[in-house]
Structure 1
């Protein structure tokens, strides 16, 4: 049963990642990977909310598998972040590569902490 929850979450997360990435990237005429940044930060926020809810006893293990492992696992993409950063470096866009790393790490961690804090404030 657990594997089915992960599959269902991933079946939603993967197309959501692709469609969000394409939509965001089409709105920006730049080599900077805005779409990947948006899906990764969003996934960090959702996972932070879920973690905060779980620590407060308001998210079942099944919901954690569905949303955390399945949806967020397929929505976020460390491999694409790494590839795009490497591609920017190889293309001579070192400023964009460094900016991508700094923004992704700080915004991702900030979103995760914000999600946990919001969920804890809501349920404690």
Structure 2
């Protein structure tokens, strides 16, 4: 059973991650327009790096698993948004923009995995 303090900490971190996601989206979308979901891609790729960084640092520095849950599951889980990325890919396809939809899906997945790998490497070196 999860400790009450840990449950609350994960919830608070998740809320902060969601607020951060909103802030990043609000900063990017008006500047670049809304025809291509670049803000969500940036959020998911940077969040993958952040989670990788946390995992790498936790492994090398012996950070307790509870704090990895708060930072990874809570903060990064609230920040990243796979469901929005999926929906945006579907919307591109529904508009007949098949090539951008495929490029978006493949690009986000490849970049997110590469970013997570880089984050783990950097975090492990800390």
Give TM class, smaller chain: over 0.9
Answer whether contact 1:6 1:69 (CA < 8 A) is retained: yes
Q: Deviations over 1:25-82 (max 9, x none)?
A: 1111351101101111111011000110111134222321221011111100110010
The TM-score normalised by the length of structure 2 is 0.91
Which residue of the partner structure matches residue 45 of structure 1? 49
Which residue of the partner structure matches residue 82 of structure 1? 86
Which residue of the partner structure matches residue 25 of structure 2? 21
Number of corresponding residues: 122
| RMSD (CA atoms) | 1.2
CA distance in 1, matches of 2:18, 2:86: 18
Structure 2: state its 5+ residue gaps.
Answer: none
CA distance in 1, matches of 2:34, 2:82: 20
CA distance in 2, matches of 1:116, 1:82: 25
Single out whichever of 44-53 and 56-65 deviates more from structure 2.
56-65
Structure 1: state its 5+ residue gaps.
Answer: none
2:111 maps to 1:107 = yes
The TM-score normalised by the length of structure 1 is 0.92
